[in-house]
Amino acid sequence: MKQFTGKVALVTGAASGMGQSIAIRLAGDGATVVAADIDTEGLEATVAKIREAGDQVTAHHYDAASESSCTQLVQQAIKLHGQLDIVANVAGIAGFYHLHETTTELFERYLAINLTSVLVICREAMPHLKESRGCIINFASINARMPVAYHAAYDASKAGVLALTKSMAQEFSEFGVRCNSICPGGFDTPMNKNLRWAEGMDFKLIAKLHNPKIPMAHPDRIAGVAAFLASEDASHVNGEQIIVDAGVSSII
């Protein structure tokens, strides 16, 4: 029997990159995956890959910037499957901006998608995770631990994910719910390929994020870490920040 047989896993950001790889991995390990994203075309591609492998998945279009959409996503998952065992909050946005470009509207959009959506989904999922003694895997970033120039909105939102996850880990550990964060470094994803760069930015100020001797990693590398955190092998891992960056941040 596969390790997640009989379990239901909600994965946001499942249309591409790390979210897609995690959805495919959890489904391949036996979970029924609730794959969610705003990108309908990419979501359909993910679903097709999972079903081609003979695994179980349902597709759900949602907008991480909308509280009601996040709430409805969890409600739909429960209505269809009756349970939730794993929640992986992977959806997010990134980009580089000078501080004078960082309007309140822009900052609030980063918070809404990268942080508030995580809060809402975890809040709505928690009663069901308490029933299943399930787990949450929230995606932060190495930037949450080592902020850089031109990245104020992104870095602040991801630092919030770390704090939120630790708080929940303490609050719900007595119910058997584990909450952990993954802090990825450089991964070969559509988001990283299409990053917005601030005009005239000094790239030396963000050089610590990248070691030119270490190539960008395939998203499958992160999927294995997520699968471990969702598994019984990680039953004693709670409130942790797992850094996956090939050692880039270890020399800072």
Active-site annotation, residues: 154
Helix (H) or strand (E) holding 65: none
CB distance 9 to 31 below 8 Å: yes
| Nearest 10 degrees: Cα torsion 232, 82, 30, 6 | 60
- Closest Cα to residue 86, out of 158, 14, 160, 170? 14
Distances (CA, A) of 139 to 18, 222, 226: 10, 10, 10
**HSE on the CB side for 142, CA within 13 Å?**
19
Direct distance between the N- and C-terminal alpha carbons of the chain, in angstroms, rounded to an integer:
43
The neighbour count for residue 17, using CB atoms within 10 Å, is 23
Closest CA to 179 of 190, 169, 171, 187: 169
What whole-number distance in Å separates Cα of residue 87 and Cα of residue 76? 14
